[in-house]
Amino acid sequence: MTSNGPNRKAPFQLAAMAYGGDYNPEQWPEETWHEDVRLMREAGVNLVSVGIFAWAKLEPRPGVYDFAWLDRVLDLLHANGVMVDLATATASPPPWLAKLHPESLPVTADGRTLWPGSRQQYCPSSPAYREAAARLVRMMAERYKHHPALVLWHVNNEYACHVSECFCDESARHFRRWLQQRYGSLDALNAAWGTAFWSQQYADWDEIQPPRAAPTFQNPTQQLDWRRFSSDALLECYELEHAILKELTPDVPVTTNFMHAFKPLDYWKWAQYEDLVTLDMYPDPTEPDAHVYAAMNYDLIRSLGTGRPWLLMEQAPGQVNWRPHNLVKEPGIMRLWSHQALARGSDGVMFFQWRASKAGSEKFHSGMVPHGGTETRTWREVVALGQELRRIEELRPTRIHAEAAILFDWENWWALELDSKPSADLRLVGQVRSYYDRLFERNVTVDFVSPGTTLSRYRLVLVPNLYMVRDETARELERFVEAGGTLVMSFFSGIVNEHDQIWLGGYPGPFRRLLGLRVEEFAPLAPGQTNTMRMADGHQFACNLWSDIIALEGAEVLGEFGEGWYAGRPALTRHTFGRGLAYYLATRPEPAGMAWLLARACHEAGVEPAAHVPAGVEAVRRQSGTATLLYLLNHGHEPADVALESPALDLLTGQRHCGIVTLEPRGVAILRS
């Protein structure tokens, strides 16, 4: 490892609320740069990400660098008051790298090479790629370390967005080294991987392969370790750059932009190396609940940064180019969704990209400056938002406090979704959303927590399908409930240890005491098949996907299955454990069932919504000392009246409201009371 370790410094915050986007001046003649900075001033842009895909322009031939143009760009930006998030430019190697080092190209599981002509065509384990990237980063840092425009380093770009794993021979060797470090001996590896099964026992490290295309199911622990390794291999690339930047510019914060709940990379691990956690988010305007998924990601990203301000690094001003049908953001949506990110902790609003490209595969992707220039709706909305952001600096010292948390673990995600399970339809993000979406509707703010987290600051902890669990995590959940916390856990939790080997002694081994039950067998449902949950209080809900056949060991039954051979067996239980309560859900209820359960759990845990508002209105509370700001966002198509508990001032309009504030469709208010 090349790293000088995760960040331990004080949390970093930009000097002002950021507004801007990816700026690719290398695609334009120099005259255009002058127009760019004039327009940036007009729009209130104060931060741009420069040079993300400029490697070929910066190093046109191996070892031959041309920084003169970038010098002029940075000087011009600085002269116009625009701060620079400077990219290390390593996301898209120039064609010469592949020509000189064809072995640096990534290879798929079935042995196909991914060629240049697109982007991200590098093998994460390739020494040639790593050396060339490190050389470039060192040159960049040496050259710009004192440049006054530089406020942030933008390492690479969306690691793994296209290539998250490589199966070439170099990667195979790297995988073996990684396994040697993890296990120390082949005996330990054979035991962890359970290689007695199907005659897979290894007698020599060199016999071990990445999980390349194979006749049928691959060893699951091998697949799981491959996922761990692939995330780590890219993290090593990031750490390599991070270490050089920290050596040469110790005072300049470093980030790399994350993508939504993105399966290939264990962002809990990655986030430790980020001075500022940044996110790219592209909600799909065709989805009626796109804003709910966005909110979930904003809460996840805030949690990755342990509650610190984060930054929305990319979003589209209008349409994207990469969906089959690229719908525009209708008037008001870009503003509404930008405010949503601010409400949930972003310290600014950034776009991909500043000026829409005239060539290349993203030429139909929207830009802050559209092809049509400034006489366009997009530009008018961009300018208006930029002006509005200057009025809400007061937001920046405030933070979000959640009393509920969802446990989210990448390793569990990988393990849960490996093949050969009782049901192939069990997907973690869908399950997380079955909780998150209902809490969103209630305006209950949630954090996400990793397995290692101490949970004592929460009242309610939600555990969707923690299939793979380490003993320490199970003990922490017990401590949480014992001390008075409320827990809700879904089926197929506590089934395997970190090697994907069954916790023997009756499912769910590590949670039996806590839940007061034993699962005798899993009875998944076929697609389209449903059952019912009959609640003791008379409610009845449809359920699907899964049923656990439960034997009680102290838990009480709150609902039972209504149909089939296991009618009458528990579908929802509750167990008093110490001073707290542990709910267990043996199936997937329809949304109304989840809403019923979570309303009850919130009530018992004493978890309150941020505000009581009409359906379709999102409410988030932000606090600093005794000051509270209430962010209200109307995602509905009708005006919404929100009753205020006390008179309040809207930071956006400067208006004082008493009694009721009316939000227009897509309307936003930030109220200080």
Binding site for ligand GAL (CB under 6 A): 157-158, 161, 280, 282, 314, 316, 320, 352, 362, 365
CA 549/CA 587 separation, integer angstroms: 10
Strands (E), 10-122: 18-23, 47-50, 83-87
Pick the closer one to ligand GAL by CB: 155 or 320: 320
How near is the Cβ of 625 to ligand GAL at its closest, in Å? 37
How near is the Cβ of 261 to ligand GAL at its closest, in Å? 15
User: Which is the catalytic residue, given 59, 158, 170, 239?
Assistant: 158
| 158 a catalytic residue | yes
Query: Per this entry, what is the length of the chain?
Result: 673
Partners of 83 in beta bridges: 47
Handedness of CA 499, 502, 505, 509 (dihedral sign): positive
Greatest Cα pair distance in the chain:
76
The DSSP code for 294 is H
CA 362/CA 377 separation, integer angstroms: 20
Pick the closer one to ligand GAL by CB: 299 or 314: 314
Cis peptide before 508 (omega within 30 of 0): yes
Pick the closer one to ligand GAL by CB: 365 or 433: 365
Which residues does 138 contact at the CB level (< 8 Å), separation at least 6? 244, 248
Pick the closer one to ligand GAL by CB: 314 or 478: 314
The first and second tokens of residue 504, run together, are 């023997």
Pick the closer one to ligand GAL by CB: 314 or 347: 314
Which residues does 146 contact at the CB level (< 8 Å), separation at least 6? none
Partners of 407 in beta bridges: 449
How near is the Cβ of 357 to ligand GAL at its closest, in Å? 10
CA 81/CA 234 separation, integer angstroms: 34
CA 219/CA 33 separation, integer angstroms: 54
How near is the Cβ of 654 to ligand GAL at its closest, in Å? 35
How near is the Cβ of 342 to ligand GAL at its closest, in Å? 20
CA 402/CA 382 separation, integer angstroms: 32
The first and second tokens of residue 643, run together, are 């009753």
CA 433/CA 464 separation, integer angstroms: 9
**What single-letter amino acid sits at 556?**
E
- Give whole-number Cα distances, 557 to 153, 357, 554, in Å: 54, 60, 10
Pick the closer one to ligand GAL by CB: 226 or 258: 258
How near is the Cβ of 280 to ligand GAL at its closest, in Å? 5
Closest CA relative to residue 471, chosen from 453, 491, 494, 492: 494
User: Which is the catalytic residue, given 59, 165, 239, 314?
Assistant: 314
| 314 a catalytic residue | yes
- Give whole-number Cα distances, 316 to 259, 359, 367, 488, in Å: 14, 18, 7, 36
Pick the closer one to ligand GAL by CB: 80 or 326: 326
CA 314/CA 23 separation, integer angstroms: 11
Q: What are the phi and psi torsion angles at 163 (to 5°)?
A: -125, 105
Cα 158 to chain centroid distance, Å, stands at 11
How near is the Cβ of 421 to ligand GAL at its closest, in Å? 30
How near is the Cβ of 91 to ligand GAL at its closest, in Å? 8
How near is the Cβ of 282 to ligand GAL at its closest, in Å? 6
Pick the closer one to ligand GAL by CB: 237 or 320: 320
Pick the closer one to ligand GAL by CB: 129 or 352: 352
Q: Which residue reads 């991909």 in tokens?
A: 352
CA 82/CA 74 separation, integer angstroms: 9
The DSSP code for 195 is T
Cis peptide before 222 (omega within 30 of 0): no
How near is the Cβ of 348 to ligand GAL at its closest, in Å? 17
- Give whole-number Cα distances, 449 to 62, 249, 462, in Å: 44, 31, 10
Q: What is the per-residue burial (b if ≥16 Cβ within 10 Å, else e) of 450-467?
A: bbebebeebbbbbbbbbb
| Dihedral-angle region of residue 290 (phi above 0 means left; psi in -120 to 50 means alpha; beta otherwise) | alpha
Pick the closer one to ligand GAL by CB: 314 or 476: 314
- Show which residues are catalytic: 158, 314
